[in-house]
């Protein structure tokens, strides 16, 4: 009887395993008679959750030609606005007015237009800033947009943070002296950079070229406040004149005409176009504080370009790295993330939208135009899509000496195909042709 029961149990178990085996094995044939691709080695899983929606999620209208009466309606969702409406803001933000159905949960605001910043007007120019007071999540970087009339000076000063700059228009002549008494002078043009380490005294002056200069300043602290800068005139106005006389070994009357308060920005005669730094017995700084970024040849991708400036090329810039990116109409800055540093972005030309994935099903889409700031925390997945009809040009800036990003497509291409198949059930033809190099900027799909 015992032998009989054992035989029955064995028969049942063998039948169970045979029914669960792949057909080729259950029929006694070898699975090696076919030549599947690597991705075909993974069985197609039955879904344990619903498939992702196929609902179209394009912007509900183009920002460059919005309707006169934009409404929060996407397909069968939403309804008309019956109360007051700020139409210009809704026209610039279709993906906030009627979010894609893929948006979910909560993502702290990732957009700030410089147009909403208080502007400090001076004789000779102006300045407006963004820090955590305007964009609370931007904890690692802050920005200033500054304009100087021809000859105008942003007075001699220094900061407790590093200063990185991108010249948008005109020419700026800079001066600096480092902690070892080594000096530096250079003129910087459109698309070029400068960088001053913390505590290095410097000045900025517009040349006579054109209508003056406008530049973007970025500082490696989100709490930076332009009004907390250490200014030469402000300091000396608060030092007793007898102390000044003793320090400079001269008479007190030599300081009769120093300003009684800060100058900040003030008019002056334009500097000489062929100016050079005064002779310095200590010599010049070992690594120039400027970088001809405009002369760097960008890497060309199918949908645009990327060029990078970090401490590997701009030696002085040890705490801020940047990329200048162009995205053609319909193209996409590929799905990616930055592993350890937040991205502070600035839009120079064109328009686009970014969806930020912040984990735990939180995702939100924002629309951007020229003059807007974006901020994306480290490791948050995102893309940038050009939603306009002209080239989109923007800056990615990081509180790091080295530029880093992780490409979604490259990651999937460099792991076992069976893993990709098991997770996403993508077609084998797609998995087998994933690019093992970064896509950078992806062009629109060819219709050929």
Q: Looking at the annotation, which residues are catalytic?
A: 396
- Chain centroid to CA 111: 11
d(CA 85, CA 69): 9
Q: Exposure pattern of 399-423 as b/e (b: 16+ CB <10 Å)? A: bbeebebebbbbebbeeebeebbee
Give the position of tokens 């792991």.
415
Q: Specify whether the CB–CB gap between 175 and 168 falls below 8 A.
A: no
Q: Is the dihedral of CA 263, 267, 269, 270 positive or negative?
A: positive
Pairing of the two strands 372-376 and 73-74 = unpaired
Pairing of the two strands 343-349 and 372-376 = antiparallel
d(CA 167, CA 297): 17
Least Cα distance to 163 among 239, 255, 230, 93 occurs for: 230
| Residue 152 token pair | 């105008």
Contacts made by residues 74-82, CB under 8 angstroms, sequence distance 24+: 74/98, 74/99, 74/100, 74/101, 77/101
Q: Specify whether the CB–CB gap between 161 and 280 falls below 8 A.
A: no
- φ, ψ at 7 (rounded to 5°): -65, -40
Helices and strands, number each (H, E), in the chain:
9, 28
End-to-end CA distance of the chain: 73
What length is written for the chain?
Answer: 448
Q: How many C-beta neighbours within 10 Å does residue 55 have? A: 11
d(CA 194, CA 313): 13
11 burial (CB, 10 Å; 0-12 / 13-18 / 19+) is exposed
d(CA 146, CA 126): 6
Task: Please report how many Cα atoms fall inside a 13 Å half-sphere around the Cα of residue 102, on the Cβ side.
Answer: 17
Give the position of tokens 């993508």.
426
Residues with Cβ within 8 Å of 52's Cβ and at least 6 positions away in sequence, in order, are none
């Amino acid at each position: 009887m015992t032998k009989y029961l054992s035989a029955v149990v064995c028969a049942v178990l063998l039948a169970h395993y045979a029914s669960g085996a792949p057909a080729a094995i259950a029929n006694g044939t070898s699975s090696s008679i076919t030549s599947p691709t690597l991705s075909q080695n993974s069985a197609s899983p039955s879904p344990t959750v619903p498939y992702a929606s196929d609902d179209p999620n394009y912007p509900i209208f183009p920002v460059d030609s919005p309707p006169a009466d934009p409404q929060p309606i996407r397909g069968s969702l939403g309804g008309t606005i019956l109360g007051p409406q700020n139409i210009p803001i809704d026209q610039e933000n279709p993906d906030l007015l009627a979010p894609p159905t893929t948006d979910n949960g909560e993502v702290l605001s990732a957009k700030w237009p410089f147009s909403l910043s208080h502007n400090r007007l001076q004789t000779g120019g102006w300045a407006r800033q963004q820090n955590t007071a305007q964009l609370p999540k931007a904890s690692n970087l802050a920005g200033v947009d500054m304009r100087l009339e021809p000859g105008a000076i942003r007075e001699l000063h220094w900061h407790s943070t590093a200063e990185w700059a991108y010249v948008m228009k005109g020419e700026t002549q800079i001066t600096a002296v480092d902690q070892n008494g080594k000096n530096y002078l250079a003129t910087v043009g459109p698309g070029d950079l400068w960088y001053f380490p913390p505590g290095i005294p410097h000045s900025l002056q517009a040349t006579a070229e054109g209508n003056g200069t406008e530049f973007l300043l970025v500082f490696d602290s989100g709490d930076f406040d332009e009004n907390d800068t250490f200014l030469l005139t402000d300091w000396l106005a608060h030092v007793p004149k007898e102390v000044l006389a003793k320090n400079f070994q001269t008479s007190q009357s030599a300081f009769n005409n120093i300003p009684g308060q800060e100058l900040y920005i003030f008019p002056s005669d334009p500097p000489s176009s062929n100016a050079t730094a005064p002779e310095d017995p200590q010599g010049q700084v070992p690594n120039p504080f400027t970088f001809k970024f405009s002369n760097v040849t960008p890497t060309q991708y199918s949908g645009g370009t990327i060029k990078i400036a970090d401490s590997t090329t701009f030696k002085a810039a040890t705490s801020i790295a940047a990329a200048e990116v162009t995205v053609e109409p319909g193209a996409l800055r590929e799905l990616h993330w930055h592993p350890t540093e937040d991205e502070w972005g600035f839009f120079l030309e064109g328009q686009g939208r970014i969806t930020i994935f912040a984990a735990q099903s939180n995702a939100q889409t924002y629309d951007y135009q020229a003059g807007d700031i974006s901020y994306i925390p480290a490791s948050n997945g995102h893309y940038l899509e050009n939603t306009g009809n002209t080239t989109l040009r923007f800056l990615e800036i990081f509180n790091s000496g080295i530029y880093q990003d992780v490409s979604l497509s490259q990651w999937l291409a460099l792991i076992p195909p069976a893993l990709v198949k098991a997770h996403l059930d993508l077609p084998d033809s797609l998995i087998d042709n994933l690019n093992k190099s970064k896509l950078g900027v992806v062009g629109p799909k060819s219709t050929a």
